[in-house]
Amino acid sequence: MIPVKFNLLFHKNSFVEVYLVKKEDELFTCGTKLWKGKKLSVSVGDDAESVFNKSLHHLFIEEEIG
């Protein structure tokens, strides 16, 4: 299994690291790390859409506070 990693950049030095790992049953596990100067949150799961949405939700909350 070779993980795939890519970064999605946002404004104000915020970005989400996205990791996809293909499992033996042809499904993917997704992990994300949300960064804004420091690591803010980590999400992991088999449903890539919900994992990614969780990171975007944390980013939205951080932007509202900041």
Kindly tell me if the per-residue pLDDT of 12 is higher than 80: no
| pLDDT interval class at 1 (50, 70, 90) | low
pLDDT score, position 61 = 82
Q: What angle do CA 20, 22, 23 make, to 5 degrees?
A: 130
* Four-residue CA torsion sign, 34, 39, 5, 48: negative
pTM exceeding the 0.75 threshold for the entire prediction: no
pLDDT in tens, 14-56: 888 888 887 777 777 888 888 887 877 888 888 878 888 888 8
Question: 25: domain range?
Answer: 4-65
Contact 31, 44 (CB under 8 A): yes
Total count of domains within the chain:
1
Model pLDDT, residue 66: 63
Asked if residue 38 lies in contact with residue 60, where contact means CB atoms within 8 angstroms, the answer is: no
